[in-house]
Structures are given as C-alpha cells and as structure tokens.
C-alpha cells in the first residue's frame, strides 16, 4: 500500500527549517585557488590541471575543467571540502541500502565524439542490483529498438547515474563509472543470485554493469516532494497510442534523415 503523502513540491517543515538555517555563502572578491595537497593528485593527466602538477598518491576526483573553474570562480576550498567529505570511490553500506530501494534512475551516456544522451530507467525497488562495493548492474528490457544508451556505451564506457528519493528522505545519489554490456545468461553465470522473478513477467535481455569510480550525495535543497499513486498501465505493448502516441507532434515533420516527400510520392 502506498503511503498517503500530499505532494507539496518542497521538503517537510524540519528539512525546510534546516535549509533556512544555512548561512549565506561568502563569495571572495577575487578568485582564490586552493593550494594543492601532495597526497591527492587529480585523476586527469591534463598538464593544465592546477591540481595535477607535483602530486603523488591517489587521484583527486573531478576533471581538469572543473578544477580550473574552481580556481577561476573562487570555489576551490569549498570543492575540496566536498571531495574530502562526500566523494567515495566505492559504495558504502548506506549507499547500497539506498540503491536497493530505488525505483528509478537517470542515466547519462555519450558516444565517442562526446555527443550525449540521457534516459530514465525504472522498475520495482531494487531493480538496480548491487553486485559488490564497486559494481552495480541494471537490466535492459525490450524497448523501442533504438538502443541509444547501449550504443553510446559500446563506443564510450563512461556513464553517470543519478538516483533520487522524492518520497521520504529527499536526497540523491550520484554514481559515476565505467559501464559494459553483459548478456543476461553471462551475468547469471557469474552472479547466480540475480533475481529469477521479474516484475510483470519481463525478463532482461541484457544488463549494464557499472564499475563505480565516484559515488556522492546530491543536495536535497531542490529535490521536490512527490507521492506515488496507483496507476493502470499497459505493459509490453507496441501500441503507439498507449505508449504516448505522437505527443510532441513530431511525426511527418521534415528532418534531414526522414524523406517525407519521397515516401508520400511512393505511396
């Protein structure tokens, strides 16, 4: 049974009070780069990265681009505090528990040219499997056949996943890493504890296995409060109308790869 919650678009009173108690951030008048620490280099090999040169030891999270902008905008100290306090290179028990109850995730990928795609994945709680401290996997079912996310992963393994709790805790978790595509029988051979019973009888065709490189919190301040409601859905259908139809009226609109005139003439 779903909890009886009233969607408000904001956090509850306790969280709002906590947010209002946050002191305003002081912004320096001039950029103040944070001195690099010798024990934490950046993972980037970019010679222009201000946090790379002369470092020894484990890599500092983030890209050369974000480090340069941290210096330019005077946020380097604040960013470093976030790296040190919140960013892990694995999943801790609290993160694994959080993932085990998520019902949706936003997945970001890009191809070898850096052209991006974002997509929604959803399922019953725990549809994203935690394989161990450094690996998660989510199932891929029969879809529209485009395979945009998988196509990107086949060219470029980098992936970013955002999971949000919109109902109770109003918090999010980022998981960034490297993905690979594994067929369902192959993954089951390695992880026989994968579920055999699936929601609505759907069986995964394959899985995306993600090796975790970064995991960190997403601030709750702007996560809206939502409430789940019972909804009748038509699963496993190819009926265009039931799947949303031409909601955005794209069908028949001229585009470079769609030869509308040729099709009409041929008919």
Express each pLDDT in 80-109 by its tens digit.
Answer: 999 999 999 999 999 999 999 999 999 999
Find the mean pLDDT for residues 201-229. Answer: 92
pLDDT recorded at residue 259: 66
Alpha-carbon gap, residue 267 to 125, rounded angstroms: 48
Say what the pLDDT of residue 26 is.
40
Model pLDDT, residue 57: 55
pLDDT at position 196, please?
Answer: 80
Would the pLDDT of 70 be above 90?
yes
Q: Which residues pair with 105 in a beta bridge?
A: 121
How does the average pLDDT of the chain come out, rounded? 80
Predicted pLDDT of residue 47: 61
pLDDT of residue 230: 81
CATH number of 93-218: 2.30.110.10
> Residue 248's pLDDT band (boundaries 50, 70, 90)?
confident
The pLDDT of residue 81 is 95
pLDDT at residue 253, rounded to an integer = 83
pLDDT value at position 267?
A: 43
Whether 174 shows a pLDDT value over 60: the answer reads yes
Q: What is the structure's pLDDT at 229? A: 84
Greater confidence (199 vs 143) lies with 143
List the Cα angle 65/154/238 in 5-degree steps.
115
Task: Specify the DSSP class assigned to residue 199.
Answer: G
**Given pLDDT bands bounded at 50, 70 and 90, which one contains residue 7?**
very low
The arithmetic mean of pLDDT across residues 6-11, rounded, is 44
For residue 264, pLDDT over 50 is answered with no
Question: How much of the chain, in percent, has pLDDT values that exceed 90?
Answer: 54
Residues 26-58 have pLDDT tens digits of 434 443 333 333 333 345 556 667 665 434 456
Check residues 245 and 92 and name the one with the higher pLDDT: 92
pLDDT of residue 245: 75
Which residue would you say has higher pLDDT here, 186 or 264?
A: 186
Take residue 198 and report the two structure tokens written for it: 């699936």
Q: Above 80 in pLDDT, residue 3?
A: no
Task: Decide which of 22 and 90 is more confident.
Answer: 90
Please check the confidence at residue 207 and state whether its pLDDT lies above 70. Answer: yes
Q: Where are the domains of the chain?
A: 28-86, 93-218
């Amino acid at each position: 049974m779903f909890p009886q919650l009233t969607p408000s678009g904001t956090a509850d009173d306790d969280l709002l009070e906590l947010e209002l108690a946050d002191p305003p951030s002081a912004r320096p008048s001039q950029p103040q780069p944070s001195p690099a620490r010798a024990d934490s280099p950046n993972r980037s090999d970019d010679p222009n990265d201000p946090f790379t040169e002369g470092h020894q030891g484990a890599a500092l999270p983030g890209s050369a681009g974000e480090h340069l902008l941290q210096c330019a905008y005077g946020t380097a100290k604040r960013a470093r505090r976030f790296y040190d306090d919140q960013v892990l290179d694995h999943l801790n028990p609290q993160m694994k528990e959080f993932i085990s109850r998520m019902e949706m995730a936003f997945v970001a990928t890009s191809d070898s040219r850096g052209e991006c795609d974002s997509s929604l994945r959803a399922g019953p709680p725990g549809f994203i499997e935690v394989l161990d401290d450094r690996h998660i996997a989510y199932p891929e079912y029969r879809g529209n056949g485009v395979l945009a996310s998988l196509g990107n992963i086949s060219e470029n393994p980098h992936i970013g996943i955002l999971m949000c709790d919109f109902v109770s805790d109003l918090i999010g978790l980022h998981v960034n890493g490297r993905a690979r595509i594994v067929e369902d029988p192959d993954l089951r051979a390695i992880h026989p504890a994968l579920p055999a019973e699936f929601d609505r009888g759907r069986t995964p065709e394959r899985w995306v296995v993600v090796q975790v490189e970064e995991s960190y919190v997403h601030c709750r301040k702007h996560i809206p409060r939502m409430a789940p409601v019972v909804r009748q859905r038509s699963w496993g259908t190819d009926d265009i109308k039931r799947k949303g139809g031409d909601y955005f009226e794209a069908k028949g609109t001229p585009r470079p790869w769609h030869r509308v005139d040729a099709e009409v003439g041929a008919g």
